Amino acid sequence: KAAVLTDYAVDVIDKLFSDPGNPQTISQARHFTQECVRYIGLQKHAFLHLVELTGHDSYTYAHSVGVAAYTIALAREAGIVGVQELSDIGLAGLLHDVGKSLVDPSIINKKGPLNETEWAVMKKHPEFGGEILRRHRNISPVIILAAEAHHENLIGTGYPKGLVTSRMDPLVRIVTLAD
What does the pLDDT average to over 36-48? 63
Residues 6+ apart with CB under 8 A from 83: 34, 37, 38
Burial zone of 67 (CB within 10 Å; 0-12 exposed, 13-18 middle, 19+ buried): buried
State the pTM of this model. Answer: 0.76
pLDDT grade for 148, boundaries at 50, 70 and 90: very high
CA distances for 31 relative to 9, 25, 28, 34, 101, angstroms: 10, 10, 5, 5, 21
What does the pLDDT average to over 148-160? 92
Which pLDDT does position 56 carry in this prediction?
34
Indicate whether 14 pLDDT > 70.
Answer: yes
Instruction: Give the model confidence (pLDDT) of 83-133 as tens digits.
Output: 889 988 988 998 898 888 888 888 988 889 999 999 999 999 999 999 988
Among 27-41, 57-71, 125-139, name the most confident range. 125-139
Q: How many other CB atoms sit within 10 Å of the CB of residue 95?
A: 32
Indicate whether 46 pLDDT > 70.
Answer: no
Which pLDDT does position 12 carry in this prediction?
81
